[in-house]
């Protein structure tokens, strides 16, 4: 989607300047992976308008393999972010009837998923419309048939569907994924009646999959069969937390594809999430490997000369 954010603290009722960019959960992850040295592709649908051109251009500028469907009958979706106070951010979405919501199974290129190592999907696209959900389902089925591993970030958005509707859809996806990412409430949505850790453990045991419980600044926990691996987060001065979870996912998946241990994956993922929080934008601060090394070197000079 296109993204508009306030450049100053205050309500949209009163601020005078806005910044224009792009954002979206799956594209954030794809950019994060590409910056970490993993070849990544992105499939999406935009309108035949200037905002759609901007989305496609920005993603191509990040060296992604962009499969961008242009829909002349619908506008590009829009996200608006405001920092009403120094401690709070509100995100408004205008995507009902947008081009992105009209994504369908026919938009998936032949052989594109089958040639990948990992398919990453999120609950946002699965809930945005029936055709988009069908697209996600088709992608997952094709990946499973081809032996391609599936990464699923629950990413529940209450504005898209209530828990009764969303629960069964998100459970279907989680049950087919090899890697499941989510926060405490999201894990409980997928496995009702359990606390977050119990829910994550149940998901892992039932499918012999890796379940990653994101705990924000407190770090993260991975459940694999009966094993539990934890890693603390990094204490940073956050200026914008939107997109941190996507950076975390990119860090974890990149480390997995690099053959690193679960503990090392968590360390990289936590560092990526922390670094993203330290600058404005949903993906602009997504780090490269050198950025992570400098960040983890406590003795490093903060000025690069």
Catalytic site positions = 246
Nearest to 272 by CA among 242, 302, 235, 247: 247
Beta strands 88-94 and 78-85, pairing class: antiparallel
- Contact between 213 and 235 under an 8 Å Cβ cutoff? The reply is no
The helix (run of H) or strand (run of E) holding residue 292 is helix 289-296
Residue 152's nearest CA partner among 190, 115, 188 is 190
Residue with tokens 């958005």: 157
Beta bridge partners of 229: 222
List CB contacts of 215: < 8 A, sequence separation 6 or more.
183, 184, 221, 233
CA 204/CA 174 separation, integer angstroms = 10
Report how far residue 137's alpha carbon sits from residue 146's, in angstroms, rounded to the nearest whole number.
14
DSSP state for residue 149 in the 8-state scheme: E
Picking from 136, 129, 130, 117, the residue whose alpha carbon sits closest to that of residue 26 is: 136
């Amino acid at each position: 989607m296109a993204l508009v954010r306030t450049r100053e603290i205050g309500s949209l009722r009163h601020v005078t300047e806005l910044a224009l960019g792009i954002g979206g959960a799956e594209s954030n992850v794809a950019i994060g992976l590409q910056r970490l040295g993993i070849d990544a592709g992105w499939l999406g649908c935009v309108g035949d308008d200037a905002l759609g051109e901007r989305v496609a251009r920005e993603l191509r500028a990040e060296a992604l393999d962009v499969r961008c469907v242009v829909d002349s009958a619908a506008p590009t979706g829009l996200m608006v972010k405001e920092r009403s106070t120094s401690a709070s951010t509100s995100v408004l979405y205008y995507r009902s009837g947008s081009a992105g919501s009209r994504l369908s199974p026919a938009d998936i290129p032949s052989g594109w998923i089958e040639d990948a190592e990992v398919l990453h999907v999120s609950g946002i696209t699965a809930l945005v419309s029936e055709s988009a959900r069908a697209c996600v389902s088709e992608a997952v089925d094709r990946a499973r048939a081809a032996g391609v591993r599936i990464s699923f970030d629950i990413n529940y958005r209450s504005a898209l569907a209530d828990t009764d509707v969303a629960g069964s859809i998100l459970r279907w996806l989680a049950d087919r994924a090899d890697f499941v990412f989510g926060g405490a409430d999201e894990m409980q949505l997928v496995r009702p009646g359990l606390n977050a850790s119990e829910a994550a453990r149940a998901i892992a045991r039932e499918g012999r999959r890796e379940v990653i419980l994101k705990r924000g600044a407190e770090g993260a926990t991975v459940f694999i069969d009966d094993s539990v691996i934890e890693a603390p987060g990094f204490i940073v001065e956050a200026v914008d937390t939107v997109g941190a979870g996507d950076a975390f996912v990119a860090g974890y998946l990149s480390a997995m594809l690099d053959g690193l241990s679960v503990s090392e994956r968590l360390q990289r993922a936590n560092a990526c999430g922390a670094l993203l929080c330290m600058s404005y934008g949903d993906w602009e601060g997504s780090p490269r490997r050198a950025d992570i090394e400098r960040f983890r070197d406590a003795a490093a000079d903060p000025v690069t000369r």
